Homo-oligomer: A and B are copies of this chain.
Amino acid sequence: MKKLLFLSIFLVFSAISAQEAIQLKSSVRHTIDELRDFVSIPNDALEHADINRNITWLTKKFNERGFNTSVLPTDGESLFFAALPMEDSKPTILFYMHFDGQSVDPSKWDQPNPYNVVLKAPEGDGWKNLSFDELNDDINYEWRLFGRSTSDDKGPIVMFLNTIDLLKKENKVLPYNIKVILDSEEEKSSAPLAKAVKQYKELLKADFLIINDGPVHNSGKPTVIYGCRGITTLSLTTYGPEKPQHSGHYGNYAPNPGFQLAQVLASMKDTKGKVIIDGFYNGITLDEATMGILKSVPDDETEIKKNLQIKTAEKVGNFYQEALQYPSLNIRGLGSGWIGDKARTIVPESATAEIDLRLVPESDGTRLKNLVRKHVEKQGFFITDKIPTKEERLAHDKIMTITEGTVTNAFRTDLNNPYGNFLVETLKNTFKEEVVQIRIMGGTVPIAPFINELKIPAFIVPLVNPDNNQHSPNENLKIGQIAYGIEVFYNILSTPKL
């Protein structure tokens, strides 16, 4: 088995010599040790003391590598900033990563402590635990490290630190100034970030931004992402009788809030899943070149559908990447009365739909929310942002309470941006294969404040495996991705932009 895996490593990292492969492996080994140490410090952003302990660790580690570091106070948890000594003549790269992690429920993990990294090897459909001593013999790139934030996002931070070591060892002169900003509330939506970026604008000034967060494309190929969708939310509530009523006494007399809600929701989409609210998709055009890039992404849609267990996808785009170019309208929750064992024979007093809207640069969140609001109004609803008063109830047949969430706008860097070209070329040369270019990814990364304040191009260069169980129990990092990440950082940092 070891032979086979040794071969597979050479397939992935075919661009490097045997000598370099050995050096890389030693760097991977050091990264594993340092990552175990880093993960052992809990990093739930709800625990202030934990965040501080992580900052102390980061300060020591970046200082050791010759960085100047600062702790940047914000309205919430502090940000961590590090920079190598600057030279005015060089372009500056700003790296964004985060060191906070999702909360853990240890009872749902296959290991006693999610902050205590466990080494595992694939076995059948599952995993078997290994002692870390096994790494002394040989490092198998199929093995994985299980623990909170191994992938999201402590792993990339430690890969970065070890790349700096490697570059120093080889006395490489870096053609860039390097700044690093590490977020402490990314898993809590980075609420303080917008204000902080404004406040520390001068400090953060750079020529382009690289975000090392999230997984590479499902195909496992090198990936550069030019943007991400934004998000906003709406909560829609309709009303029946003021208190739940016996469905015998008032069934087909008291208006049913569930039917009212169903009717307005049904009017928002056609049966194929396309939004039919006036103007919802306005402003979006996809030219031939763009369509080419979208089609070049090696998505296996048969596999995606098999995984989701769906026959047909919603017909917003003709294929997955095309669908992501449009804003979405999603019912993330529905509630009225009770369901299942708790169901009671009542006419409920209200019915609520929780909506999320994923945004693209052409669809401003506030504009979209107003379109939804207008659409509801056209169906004859009186709209309020509060629970309706008795007077309002007696004056209007159909009432909807609409409350709105905040808007995180989308961002998208031009596909022809020279820094983007540089990243794609560098990855292509490093791994000798085509780079997956994602024009916009479906999810939302809170990067908009950087784009808005610093006015610089931004790119997501993900480093970890797609099946890392991010945000869930049994989060993990494939050891091969550590080698991948070090190679990515090494080649970006040592290759001058043409």
A–B complex contacts, Cβ < 8 Å, 19 sampled: A228-B248, A246-B443, A247-B328, A247-B358, A251-B358, A252-B314, A252-B327, A252-B328, A253-B313, A255-B314, A258-B334, A261-B334, A265-B266, A311-B393, A331-B336, A331-B348, A335-B335, A339-B352, A340-B354
Task: Knowing A247-B328, A263-B266, A347-B332 are in contact, say whether A397-B312 is a contact too (CB < 8 A).
Answer: yes
CA of A262 to CA of B336, assembled, Å: 13
> CB within 8 A of A273: which of B229, B259, B342?
B259
Q: Which 8 A-B pairs have the closest CB atoms?
A: A248-B443, A258-B331, A251-B328, A266-B266, A242-B309, A333-B337, A262-B265, A252-B328
Question: Which of B255, B336, B353 is in CB contact (< 8 Å) with A312?
Answer: B255
In the assembled complex, the Cα of A316 lies from the Cα of B254 at a distance in Å of: 11
Least distance between A84 CB and chain B CB atoms (Å): 34
Contact B308 A245 (CB under 8 A): yes
A452: chain B residues within 8 A (beta carbon): none
Q: Which residues of B contact A233 (CB under 8 A)?
A: 343, 345
* Residues of B close to A347: CB separation below 8 A: 330, 332
- Report which of B245, B250, B256, B397 forms a contact with A331, defined as CB distance below 8 A: B256
Question: Once the chains are docked, how many angstroms separate the CA of A442 from the CA of B263?
Answer: 25
Knowing A247-B328, A323-B252, A354-B338 touch, does A394 contact B442 (C-beta < 8 A)? no
A271 CB within 8 Å of chain B: yes
Closest residue of B by beta carbon distance from A396: B311
Whether the pair B334, A335 counts as a contact (CB closer than 8 A) is: yes
| Most chain B CB within a 10 A radius of its CB, from A307, A308, A313, A330 | A330
B259 and A356: CB pair below 8 A?
A: no
- Contact of A415 with B by CB under 8 A: no
Q: Choose among A228, A245, A307, A353 the residue with the greatest number of B CB atoms under 10 Å from its CB.
A: A353
A393 to B344 CA separation, bound complex (whole angstroms): 30
Residue A329 interfacial (CB < 8 Å):
yes
Contact residues in B for A273 (Cβ distance below 8 Å): 252, 255-256, 259
Q: A326 to B252: give the CA distance in the assembly, Å.
A: 8
CA distance in complex: A271, B272 (Å): 23
- Interface pair B309/A332, CB less than 8 Å apart: no
Expressed in whole angstroms, the minimum distance between the Cβ of A435 and any Cβ of chain B is 20
Interface string of A404-438 (1 = CB under 8 A from B): 00000000000000000000000000000000000
Interchain CB contact under 8 A, A271 and B263: yes
> Cβ of A242 and Cβ of B308 under 8 Å apart?
yes
Q: Which residue in B253, B308, B331, B354 is a CB contact (below 8 Å) of A259?
A: B331
In the complex, A249 has a CB within 8 A of chain B: yes
Our pick among B314, B323, B332, B351 for the contact of A334 (Cβ within 8 Å) is B351
Give Cα A153–Cα B211 distance, bound, in whole angstroms.
70
Given contacts A251-B442, A259-B269, A311-B393, 7 further A-B contacts (CB under 8 A): A252-B326, A254-B308, A254-B313, A256-B331, A259-B265, A332-B338, A333-B342
A286 cross-chain contacts in B, Cβ below 8 A: none
Bound complex: CA of A266 vs CA of B270, how far in Å?
13
Contacts of A335 in B (CB 8 A): 334-336, 338-340
Cβ B343 vs Cβ A332 within 8 A: yes
User: How distant is A263 from chain B, measured CB to nearest CB, in Å?
Assistant: 4
- Tell me, rounded to whole Å, the shortest Cβ–Cβ distance linking A251 to chain B: 4
Asked if A241 is an interface residue, CB under 8 A from chain B, the answer is yes
A444 within 8 A of partner (CB): yes
The complex places the Cα of A271 from the Cα of B256 at a distance, in Å, of 11
CB within 8 Å of B: which A152-203 residues: none
Bound together, the chains give a CA A85 to CA B315 distance in angstroms of: 77
Q: Which one of B254, B332, B351 contacts A314 once the chains associate, using CB atoms below 8 Å?
A: B254
B248 x A358 contact (CB < 8 A): yes
